[in-house]
Structure 1
Amino acid sequence: MTTFALIGAGPGLGLATARRFATAGHTVALIARDPRHLDSLTAELARDGIKARGFAADVLDTESLDAALNAAGTSLGPIEILQYSPVPRADFMKPVLDTGADDLDAPLAFSVRGPVTAVNAVLPGMRELGRGTLLFVNGLSAVRPNPKVAGTSIAFAAESAYARMLHDALAPKNIHAAQLIVPGAIRPDAEHSSPEALAQRLYDIHRERDGFRHYSEPLAD
């Protein structure tokens, strides 16, 4: 049995993707900063008959993130699917003219150092398995820079470039890297961007392994 590891576990998309991949037979590793938050999520999944374990780590602390992923792979089984979808902090979203060089340190650590650390932690296990999936979930500013949220626009663009390079470099090794762009808010009543719809879309991307960039819904002009 292989493991689905979710970085940025939360009560919406996180629980939905955990349920979807668990239904497909994967063990579930939830990674977030707050151990109490993780306990709540794993308890909720347990009520649905899903066995999941939480591993506390902060994506801005690369040592804790690397340790959490290694612990998950050791205790639950090799990580076959990694989803990187933590929610950016509000202070990443300053207007471009109010953004100084120091304001970009945390967003770039969040969207570049975090993903690079996570991928390097799981790649050896995926190579040993002979397969793997790397899923990156981003907002619209990853592909349409928004001057109102300069930090995420810059950092998401860098994350997109990294993920695209992984897609090209790892395809011959049967490891699929893909990005899902969610243009708007994730809402329970949204046809294409509800947690359940996005979880199914991410599972389909994992299974179909078709192309790099996907959108949860068509973009408005």
Structure 2
Amino acid sequence: MPVIAIVGAGPGMGLSIARRFGAEGFQVVLISRTKEKVEALAAQLVADGVEAAAFAADVMRPDTVHSALAAAVDRFGPIDVLEYSPADRGLAGVSAAEATAEDLQTQIDHYLYGAVAAVSQALPGMLERGSGTLLFSTGGSSVQPRGGSFATIGIAAASLRNYAMTLNVELAERGIHAAHVAISVFIGSGPGTEADTIAEHYWTAHTKRDKPEIVHVLPGDTP
């Protein structure tokens, strides 16, 4: 059975992505900082008939990400799809005009370096097999800059976006598809913003493999 590993799994997008892939026969690896919370999510999937397991890791500590993914491979086998969802509402954003290097470094550690840690663990096996999918999630400010408290988040998320799309350039001819999904809505705020609706983009990215980026906006809005 194929395996998807979701790094940064939560009860919103992470769980919906897990259910979408689980419905297609994927085994699901959920990785998040709080073991008890991610175990509860895995239990929901198991109750729905999806083979799933939870592992604890902090994306700000690359060694824990490496260990969690290695343990997941020991449990399920090689990772076919890696999805990185780094949202952390505990990280305060700062305006660009007021931001210090330290403000940006914290966000970059979270958004970009956590992703690099996850990819460095999952990608070698994909390259060896000549197949795999790397998916990365950010908010809309990675594509359309916004000021105020969104500024430092958007700057860091834009670096993750660039990393994802550069991976696509480098890996496409080696059987690996990398794609970035920008969610330019507040999830769960109304029609068209449901996590289950947005999760369909991830399945599309994995199966169609025809574009490096998908931007989710409300109908009629411009990405």
Identify the TM-score tier after normalising by the shorter chain. Answer: over 0.9
TM-score normalized with structure 1 length:
0.94
User: Where does the alignment leave 5 or more consecutive residues of structure 1 unmatched?
Assistant: none
> Which residue of 2 is the match for residue 164 of structure 1?
165
Alpha carbons 1:188, 1:195 under 8 Å: kept: no
Instruction: State the secondary structure of the residue aligned to 1:96.
Output: coil
Contact 1:92 1:106 in 2 (8 A): no
Aligned AA (1:61): R
Partner of 2:80: helix, strand, or coil?
A: strand
> What count of residue pairs does the alignment treat as equivalent?
220
Aligned counterparts of 1:32 and 1:6: Cα–Cα separation in 2: 8
Match in the other structure for 1:119 = 119
CA distance in 2, matches of 1:16, 1:136: 15
C-alpha separation in 1, matches of 2:44 and 2:189: 17
> Does the Cα contact within 8 Å between 1:94 and 1:151 map onto a contact in 2?
yes
Identity %: 37
Gaps of 5+ in 2: none
Q: Does 1:88 align with 2:73?
A: no
Q: Distance in 1 between matches of 2:91 and 2:119?
A: 25
User: What is the letter of the counterpart of residue 161 of structure 2?
Assistant: S
The one-character-per-residue Cα deviations of 1:142-195 (angstroms, maximum 9, x if unpaired) are: 01111212211110111111111100000011100001111111117432x311
Aligned to 2:20: 20
**Structure-1 separation of matches of 2:22 and 2:91:** 34
TM-score by length of 2: 0.93
Shift of 1:215: 1.3
Opposite residue 10 of structure 2, the aligned amino acid is G
* 1:176 matched to 2:173: no
CA distance in 2, matches of 1:145, 1:59: 24
Paired with 2:14 and 2:202, the residues of 1 have a C-alpha distance of 11
Provide the C-alpha distance between the structure 2 equivalents of 1:107 and 1:16, rounded to a whole number of angstroms.
25
Asked if the contact 1:88/1:152 (under 8 Å) is kept, the reply is: no
1:136 aligns with 2:146: no
Once the two structures are superposed, the pairs formed by residues 35-114 of structure 1 within 5 Å of their partners are 35-114=35-114
Q: Distance in 2 between matches of 1:146 and 1:98?
A: 14
Partner-residue secondary structure (3-state), 1:79:
coil
* Alpha-carbon distance in 2 for matches of 1:188, 1:32: 24
* Contact in 1 for aligned 2:185/2:216 (Cα 8 Å): no
Deviates more, 1:25-34 or 1:96-105: 96-105
Q: 1:64-95 CA distances to partner (integer Å, 9 max, x unpaired)?
A: 01111111112111101011112133434112
Contact 2:96 2:151 in 1 (8 A): yes
Q: Secondary structure at the match of 1:178?
A: strand
Distance 1:71 1:64 in 2: 10
- In structure 1, the partner of 2:156 is 155
Cα deviations by residue, 1:101-144 (Å, 9 ceiling, x for unpaired): 11112101111111111111101111222211111111111011
Decide which moves more: 72-81 or 85-94.
Answer: 85-94
